[in-house]
Amino acid sequence: MKVVGGPASGLLASRLAEHMNAELLQCEFKEFPDGEVYARVVDEITDEHVAVVQSTPTNTDIIYLLQLLDACQAAKKITAVIPYFGYARQDKQFQPGEALSSRAIARAIRADETYVINIHNDNVLGYFTPPAANLDAAPLIGEYIKTAGIDNPIIIGPDGGAEELAEKVAEKADAEYDVLEKTRISSEEVEIKPKKLSANNRNIVIVDDIISTGGTIAESAALLREQGANEVYVMCVHAVLAGNASEKLNAQVKEVISTDTIEQDISKISVAPLVADALG
């Protein structure tokens, strides 16, 4: 197998190539003055299996992915690895006439097989042809927590949607887990607190699939601190970090850590072993 890394996933592609003892092909990328972009795989592609690794946090990254898949057409087999698949939260038609954006983009992606990581909604997998496979980074986050020296943490999902992630992370980290739950006390008052456990005097790791604006996590961290939590850490799979998300979070928590599905300064957990295992 040979590995091609797009501009959003260059580091992960090189880590993957190293894990798989595979050749990383050299690529060139540039942007024209009118905003159009250009991609070229410089090394020759012949009759072989190529994995194209490119997350799509921006519209431009979607174009680079399509270009790279096209540039690899001479390969015998093409695997698309899209560690972070953007638009996955636009996973259904909320209003009539609305574009089902995740489907529109998935339909444009042509590969023999496609892997994504912790996609926001499993329904999106079926929009790919053939259907994409979803890899789970939760055990990697759990392993990281185990070695991070955080004393007896509770793993907390900020809402019911993050319960499965919290459970799987906790299982690997040998920790307790919970989710925040909203209870209406009166017409004016809503209480938000962990469903089963008390945060008082406990170290907390809030886990979520995506941090976008940081609003969900900043609010959760502030509440948990009000409820007596000691140190609050945040770990996520996809650190989109839109706008001033980092500042918002840093004001509330001790540390924010992510995987490298989107390459950020806080990407301390690599998904390379997970992808390498899947590609065999």
Q: Which residues are catalytic?
A: 182
Both tokens assigned to 54: 């490119």
CA 12/CA 9 separation, integer angstroms = 5
Q: Which stretch binds ligand R5P (CB under 6 A): 34-42, 54-62, 175-183, 214-222?
A: 214-222
Rule CB under 6 A: is residue 157 a binding residue for ligand R5P? no
* Least gap, CB of 52 to ligand R5P (angstroms): 26
* Least gap, CB of 214 to ligand R5P (angstroms): 5
User: By three-state DSSP, how is residue 166 classified?
Assistant: helix
User: By three-state DSSP, how is residue 65 classified?
Assistant: helix
Rule CB under 6 A: is residue 261 a binding residue for ligand R5P? no
Rule CB under 6 A: is residue 210 a binding residue for ligand R5P? yes
* Least gap, CB of 209 to ligand R5P (angstroms): 5
Do the Cβ atoms of 103 and 132 come closer than 8 Å?
no
User: 157, 170, 102, 161: which is closest to 132 by C-alpha?
Assistant: 102
Q: Which is nearer to ligand R5P, 86 or 153 (CB)?
A: 86
**CB proximity list for 219: less than 8 A, separation 6 or greater:** 158
Residues forming beta bridges with residue 23, ordered by sequence position: 2
Rule CB under 6 A: is residue 214 a binding residue for ligand R5P? yes
Q: Which of 126, 130, 160, 215 binds ligand R5P (CB under 6 A)?
A: 215
* Rounded (10°) angle between helices 101-108 and 59-71: 20
Burial of 23 (0-12, 13-18, 19+ CB in 10 A): middle
Q: Which is nearer to ligand R5P, 5 or 158 (CB)?
A: 158
CA 158/CA 272 separation, integer angstroms = 27
Q: Which is nearer to ligand R5P, 45 or 222 (CB)?
A: 222
* Least gap, CB of 112 to ligand R5P (angstroms): 30
Rule CB under 6 A: is residue 211 a binding residue for ligand R5P? yes
Do the Cβ atoms of 13 and 24 come closer than 8 Å?
yes
Q: Which stretch binds ligand R5P (CB under 6 A): 90-98, 175-183, 210-218, 252-260?
A: 210-218
- The angle at the Cα of 261, spanning 264 to 250, to the nearest 5 degrees, equals 40
Rule CB under 6 A: is residue 212 a binding residue for ligand R5P? yes
Rule CB under 6 A: is residue 91 a binding residue for ligand R5P? no
* Least gap, CB of 217 to ligand R5P (angstroms): 6
Which chain residues interact with ligand R5P by CB under 6 A? 158, 161, 208-216
